Structure 1
């Protein structure tokens, strides 16, 4: 029996509105890089976070894309930058970056082995961990800034 081979990397598997902060930002950065290169990705990161954090995240993203460019098994399929859908490749890449950033090294290495050939697995995982951690750090700073100051300065 033959199986249908209609699964492509662009097949919609999620909605951007349903994704949480880190995964949503990873997908947005991937789409920006894919649609407009480094300039567009840098602009997106600067819109979403403070300049020093954006620069750190951008440098890590550059490392990720360098490894991908040299060792990628097949091109990652991306939706348009403002598309509300999330494709299979985008969701898998976001999950990979999350796993790497959260320290789930074995899972991240396994996922990297699907994305790139053997020479790029470690380098991609390390770059993805730095990229995810920089995005996570920026998100925490934004959340901290939203905490209101107490009405009274008295601490108990």
Structure 2
């Protein structure tokens, strides 16, 4: 099993209202997963939503990753315009170049971009796994629903998977 970590749309544009609390909670789990992947030299992909109509484009504050999470040099950054992070992006070729067959998926919004990317990974014959409590949404019920219908892993189990 060759894993990569995907962090989806944890951007300042969505960091408000009920999403803020959910993103803060998810960021705690994502930070732990980031540490594991960084320590073990595993691929990390930051996926950012670009939406010209809403003014969320590279170079704007809304496009930036929230302050609690920060990409490091050498980590892949993918800009997307569709909910499915694989649609018309270089995500799949990057994962293929790193021999990744399993993707640990985290981020915002559970019921939209996270779930779409989860299904997109399956379409590419990858094995997607959601990080339990590493998802954010404006609705707690939607977070729970997405985790309930998907393959998930806890942080402790992920630690064992990564560290062997």
**TM-score, length basis structure 2:** 0.31
Higher helix content, 1 or 2: 1
More strand by share: 2
Relative to the length of structure 1, the TM-score reads 0.32
Q: Which of these two proteins has the greater Rg computed from alpha carbons?
A: 1
